[in-house]
């Protein structure tokens, strides 16, 4: 049995894919599943059909170099929670905005960072 990694390199722009997926409907979507869907069509492809798991979370963290949120540039991932187990993730698009699906929503939307909803760290693809 071939033991391949969950994520494999693909080509494309995660920002463009994220914009293309705005308002796309997903069943019981959470932020991790949405980012997994974006990564599936851009730089990294989850191999378990968009299901966000601790294994994917760990591997996404491994392919990103942790940086401060203020150092994030468009295309970087924003994470809420601790690095070993983030509970929310979005794709930074610049101008204090990011694209993600909020828990309980079925579509991804552009959202604004605020002091009440601010990520704990960011990740830059390595």
Express each pLDDT in 61-87 by its tens digit: 666 788 999 999 998 888 888 877 777
Kindly state whether residue 3 falls inside one of the protein's structural domains: no
Full domain range(s) for residue 19? 11-125
The strand pair at 85-94 and 109-112 is best described as unpaired
CATH number at residue 102: 3.90.1720.10
Judged by average pLDDT, the poorest of 21-30, 39-48, 81-90, 117-126 is 39-48
Structure-model confidence comparison of residues 42 and 79, the more confident one? 79
Per-residue pLDDT at 17 exceeds 90? no
CB 82 within 8 A of CB 58: no
Tell me how far apart the alpha carbons of residues 28 and 32 are, in angstroms, rounded to a whole number: 11
Tell me how far apart the alpha carbons of residues 69 and 122 are, in angstroms, rounded to a whole number: 5
Kindly state whether residue 83 falls inside one of the protein's structural domains: yes
């Amino acid at each position: 049995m071939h033991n391949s990694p969950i994520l494999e390199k693909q080509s494309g722009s995660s920002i463009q894919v994220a914009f293309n997926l705005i308002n796309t409907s997903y069943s019981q979507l959470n932020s991790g599943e949405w980012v997994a869907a974006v990564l599936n069509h851009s730089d990294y492809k989850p191999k378990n059909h968009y299901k966000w798991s601790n294994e994917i979370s760990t591997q996404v963290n491994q392919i990103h170099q942790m940086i401060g949120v203020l150092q994030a540039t468009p295309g970087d991932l924003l994470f809420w929670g601790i690095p070993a187990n983030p509970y929310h993730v979005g794709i930074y698009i610049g101008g204090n905005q990011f694209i993600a699906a909020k828990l309980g929503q079925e579509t991804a939307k552009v959202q604004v960072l605020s002091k009440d909803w601010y990520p704990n760290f960011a990740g830059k693809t390595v």
